[in-house]
Amino acid sequence: MDPLDIMTNIERVIPYYQAIFSADQQEVVGYEVLGRIQIDEKNVLSLGPFFHDKNVPDEYFLEVEKKIIHQALTDYTSGKKSFLLFINQNASVLLEDQGESLLELLLSYVPKGLNLENIVLEIDEHTYDGDVEHLQHLVNYYKTFGIQIAVSNIGESGSDLDRIGRLSPNILKVDLKVLRQSHELSAHQDVLFSLAVLSRKIGATLLYENMEASYQLQYAWRHGGRYYQGYYLHKPGPAFIQEDYAKTVLIDKFQHFIRYEKRKLEAIQQLTEMLQNKIQQLVGRNKKTEELDDWLHAITKDFSEISFRMYVCDENGFQLSSNLIKKQGKWELQPEYKQKNWSWRPYFLEYVMKMRVEKKGLLSDVYSDIETGETVRTFSYPINNGQFIYIDLAYEYLYENQDFL
């Protein structure tokens, strides 16, 4: 609709509510307030295009937004609700008066029963290009009143993790739309994984939005999502719904995910035990490991079906052997890798300490190999005092056994 048509029919502007569900209770934990305009009895249009149109004057924007928030707060307080209420805010517009207009509006509903700790202000991470320090001061100001902050629409095209970290939001809203795109999927998944790590570091709750399929729910569940939102669970509507609206679906899906995850974990545990037993036998048969390159050559036949690279390092990460790498079915030595240091790699020294203490091998998580770009896992094992073998498992082997991926 034309912005002028909306303004001349502002009495038809109404809030719609999309439920947000929690993983721990499998119930509605809150709602996002969305703008709609009632065209007639059967037709309701989203005001999303209006709010994202940069040509709309700020005074239009603020008037429509105020109408929506007023009605939402009236619905909320008249029903004496206690769930979270997510309110979208444009950071640039909010900063024009240092957030005082919105704060005044919210405070006016406190005598009517509004608990400001249940209000979550959503700030779109992509639309704000101003000084992050100014926004940080405003966020901290709101937090002094108990108001929570959510950074939304992150994950779609990468995000400035440093800026998000400085804002220290209570909630990170991660956009799952990228999981519906086939191109550059692995890169997007890496971004989403980074956001999951960030949320843990800064103590923020992860909320996955735009969920439209079961596999997206599974991804969110596996990657630390406490809250879920999307058409798969609930389409926006003019009224609040029952708390247990999607409880049956969520419980059923969680049980399925748990069974699947347990099967994968059991398979990975069996793989770890198999590799450990194999290496133990080989170390027992080949006592002399002084000539490491020769020793690696001697055991290649035992790993030809599962590995593409092997090498030995000391406990400080310095490589003691050559790389033994399989090319076109044949194992070749790469002596130029001797004395390279790998202690800078994530978890390297942590894994070494665990192997020293526990006297057993470790299987890494799935990662992308720096040189080949392929998805791999690495099995490491203490073969001698201060010596550790590293066996990189081939992607083909992992792919043939999907539970290993």
CA-closest candidate to residue 231, choices 216, 248, 243: 216
According to the model, what pLDDT value does residue 193 have? Answer: 80
Question: How far is 272 from 398, CA to CA, in rounded Å?
Answer: 13
pLDDT at position 151: 93
Per-domain boundaries in the chain? 3-232, 260-404
In angstroms, the CA 371 to CA 334 distance is 14
In this prediction, residue 329 carries a pLDDT of 92
Are the C-beta atoms of residues 389 and 321 closer than 8 Å to each other? no
State how far the alpha carbon of 179 is from the alpha carbons of 158, 259, 405, in Å: 13, 23, 17
pLDDT at 214: 95
Enter the pTM of the model.
0.90
CA–CA gap between residue 174 and residue 48 (Å, rounded): 18
Helices (H) and strands (E) in the chain, counts: 13, 16
Nearest to 376 by CA among 341, 325, 333: 325
- Report in angstroms the alpha-carbon separations of 112 from 30, 67, 83, 387: 19, 18, 16, 69
Burial class (CB in 10 A: 0-12, 13-18, 19+), 285: exposed
Give the other-Cβ count within 10 Å of 56's Cβ. Answer: 16
As a whole number of Å, the end-to-end CA separation of the chain is 48
Q: Are 293 and 334 in contact (CB under 8 A)?
A: no
How much is the pLDDT for 129? 81
Rounded (10°) CA dihedral 377, 183, 207, 80? -160
Sequence length of the chain is 405
Alpha helices in 117-170 (DSSP H): 132-143, 161-167
Enumerate the β-bridge partners of residue 367.
Answer: 376
CA distance 213 to 226: 17
In this prediction, residue 165 carries a pLDDT of 85
Strands 307-314 and 323-327: antiparallel
Structure-token pair, residue 115: 């608990």
Instruction: Check: CB of residue 109 under 8 Å from CB of residue 68.
Output: no
- Identify the sign of the CA torsion 299, 300, 302, 306: positive
Question: Distance (Å, rounded) from C-alpha 10 to C-alpha 38?
Answer: 10
CA 227 to chain centre: 12
Closest CA to 405 of 380, 372, 375, 361: 375
The pLDDT of residue 162 is 80
**124 alpha-carbon distance from chain centroid:** 17
Please report, to the nearest 10 degrees, the dihedral formed by the alpha carbons of residues 379, 384, 387, 390 taken in order.
-20
> Could you tell me if residue 359 is left (phi over 0), alpha (psi between -120 and 50 degrees) or otherwise beta?
left
DSSP conformation class of 204? P
pLDDT 10s per residue in the chain (405 long)? 899 999 999 999 999 999 999 999 999 999 999 999 999 988 999 999 999 898 999 899 999 999 999 999 999 999 889 999 999 999 988 999 999 999 999 999 999 999 999 999 999 867 788 888 999 999 999 999 999 999 998 755 555 778 888 899 999 999 888 777 654 556 667 777 888 888 988 999 999 999 999 999 999 999 999 999 999 999 999 999 999 999 999 999 999 999 999 999 999 999 999 999 999 999 877 656 668 999 999 999 999 999 999 999 999 999 999 999 999 999 999 999 999 999 999 899 999 999 999 999 999 999 889 999 899 999 999 998 899 999 999 999 999 999 998
Q: Rounded CA gap, 101 and 6, in Å?
A: 22
CATH of domain 260-404: 3.30.450.20
- Where would I find the H helices in 223-358? 247-285, 292-299, 348-358
Q: What's the confidence (pLDDT) of residue 231?
A: 97
SS3 211: coil
Three-state DSSP at 198 gives: helix
Q: To which CATH superfamily is domain 3-232 assigned?
A: EAL domain (3.20.20.450)
